[in-house]
């Protein structure tokens, strides 16, 4: 998990990672051309030279039976063949029907090579599974996930969820409040509209459920001020776990706006941290629910408090009342939120991420 590095007024910064790079090695010129075209379409960064100045090198795609000794340590190896025939490997590698993914362990004495056995990809027939394997190697899970619920509707749950995502670099705001099917959706997304962004085109998770890789996801999702936006469509729940796996491999911070707290309580299987938003003026109406959340260790965010940001109780955070906010949202001026309110959100995000 990436840790918070620094906080500036109105902006929280996560560790920024260079684009993971794939090394293409040992193929013929025509084969390199084919692979370069496929990797470009899939959104991968790649190189054909082994340079010391390549800190983002994650995986090497090599021709069969090519095992360079000067590869960086712990570099993952995936092998592919264009011949359709796998000849016996030379030397002492594993049997002929496997490829070699290895790591050179440097230290005292002779370097050692550790082998993991997986199938050699036969190209071009197996280009799709090859790209999927590369995607998983280049983009392992890395995101911190925040699940935001509200005690009641219209208490600022979506505002806080979006504000937290918008306070961090390399983040995505996921609107999971809509239950409408894709056939009934409008041209523009409803979630951003209530936040003051009325012209954001509706982009559903169903649009990426079949064939998108993490390498392309950040280029596809529409921007929403300083973050990215995705509408999670719950009409077909089978695809949700796949979409979530893409998100946690593509971004450093994923903020999911779940809307009103369900009567059945918070699902136990949710990844990451969970926060529940409670309006300061209505908190006295939900004492039993709040006590239960406290006992479960769920963090509470009291919105619209009369004072500046402060801790008002065990595992409770607060946001001050911002008189200008609703007016700006109603006028479609989502990018003009008051700077002092953005600063409070950045501090709130820092405290949430640093809490263990």
* Cα-Cα-Cα-Cα dihedral sign, residues 189, 191, 193, 197: negative
Per residue in 26-76, pLDDT tens? 999 999 999 999 999 999 999 998 876 566 888 999 998 887 777 887 889
Q: E strand or H helix at 29, and its extent?
A: helix 29-42
Q: What 3-state class would DSSP assign to 196?
A: coil
Tens of each residue's pLDDT in the chain, 356 residues = 333 223 333 344 444 556 889 999 999 999 999 999 999 999 999 999 887 656 688 899 999 888 777 788 788 999 999 986 544 445 444 332 223 323 322 233 333 333 333 579 999 999 999 999 999 999 999 999 999 999 988 899 999 999 999 999 999 999 998 755 555 567 888 889 999 999 888 888 888 877 678 988 888 899 999 999 999 887 777 778 888 889 999 999 999 999 998 887 787 778 899 999 998 777 667 778 888 888 887 888 989 888 654 444 445 688 998 989 999 999 999 999 999 999 999 999 999 998 86
Name the DSSP letter for residue 207.
G
Question: Which pair of structure tokens corresponds to residue 41?
Answer: 């379409």
- Reported in sequence order, the residue ranges of the chain that DSSP labels E, i.e. its strands, are 4-8, 11-14, 21-25, 45-47, 57-63, 76-81, 99-105, 112-118, 121-122, 144-150, 171-175, 223-224, 227-231, 253-260, 273-279, 299-305, 316-320
> What residues pair up with 45 in beta bridges, in sequence order?
21
CA-closest candidate to residue 138, choices 219, 69, 216, 28: 216
In terms of Cβ atoms closer than 10 Å to its own Cβ (0-12, 13-18, 19+), residue 268 is: exposed
The predicted pLDDT at position 168 comes to 95
Q: How far apart are CA 9 and CA 189, in angstroms?
A: 29
The predicted pLDDT at position 349 comes to 95
> Residues near 93 by Cβ (< 8 Å), separated by ≥ 6?
65, 67, 100, 115
Question: Which pair of structure tokens corresponds to residue 129?
Answer: 């599974």
CA-closest candidate to residue 273, choices 169, 355, 171, 175: 355
In terms of Cβ atoms closer than 10 Å to its own Cβ (0-12, 13-18, 19+), residue 350 is: middle
124 cis-preceded (ω within 30 degrees of 0):
yes
Q: How far apart are CA 43 and CA 95, in angstroms?
A: 33
The predicted pLDDT at position 356 comes to 67
Tell how strand 227-231 and strand 223-224 pair up: antiparallel
Give the side-chain half-sphere CA count within 13 A for 304.
16
Q: How far apart are CA 12 and CA 105, in angstroms?
A: 37
Whether 280 and 156 have beta carbons less than 8 Å apart is answered as: no
């Amino acid at each position: 998990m990436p840790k918070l590095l620094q906080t500036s007024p109105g902006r929280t910064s996560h560790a920024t990672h260079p684009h993971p790079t794939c090394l293409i090695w040992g193929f013929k010129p025509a084969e390199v051309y084919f692979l370069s075209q496929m990797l470009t379409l899939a959104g991968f960064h790649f190189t054909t030279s082994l340079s010391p100045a390549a800190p983002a090198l994650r995986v090497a795609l090599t021709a069969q039976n090519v095992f360079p000794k000067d590869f960086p340590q712990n570099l993952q190896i995936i092998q592919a063949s264009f011949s359709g025939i796998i000849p016996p490997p030379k030397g002492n590698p594993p049997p002929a029907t496997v490829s070699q993914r290895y790591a050179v362990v440097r230290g005292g004495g002779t370097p050692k090579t550790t082998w993991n056995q997986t199938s050699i990809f036969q190209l071009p027939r197996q280009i799709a599974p090859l790209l999927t394997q590369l995607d998983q190697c280049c983009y392992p899970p890395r995101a911190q996930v925040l699940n935001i619920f509200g005690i009641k509707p219209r208490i600022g749950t979506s505002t806080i969820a979006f504000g937290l995502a918008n306070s961090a670099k390399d983040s995505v705001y996921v609107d999971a409040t809509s239950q409408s099917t894709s056939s009934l959706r409008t041209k523009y997304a409803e979630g951003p509209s209530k936040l003051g962004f009325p012209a954001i085109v509706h982009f559903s998770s169903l649009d990426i459920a079949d064939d998108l890789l993490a390498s392309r996801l950040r280029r596809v999702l529409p921007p929403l001020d300083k973050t990215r936006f995705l509408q999670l469509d719950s009409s077909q729940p089978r695809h949700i776990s796949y979409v979530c796996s893409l998100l946690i491999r593509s971004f450093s911070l994923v903020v999911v706006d779940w809307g009103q707290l369900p009567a059945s309580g918070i699902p136990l299987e949710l990844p990451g941290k969970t926060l529940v938003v409670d309006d300061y003026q209505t908190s006295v109406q939900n004492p039993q629910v709040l006590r239960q959340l406290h006992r479960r260790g769920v963090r509470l965010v009291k919105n619209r408090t009369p004072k500046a940001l402060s801790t008002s109780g065990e595992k409770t955070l607060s946001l001050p009342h911002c008189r200008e906010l609703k007016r700006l949202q109603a006028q479609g001026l989502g990018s003009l939120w008051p700077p002092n309110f953005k600063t409070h959100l950045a501090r709130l995000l820092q405290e949430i991420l640093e809490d263990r």
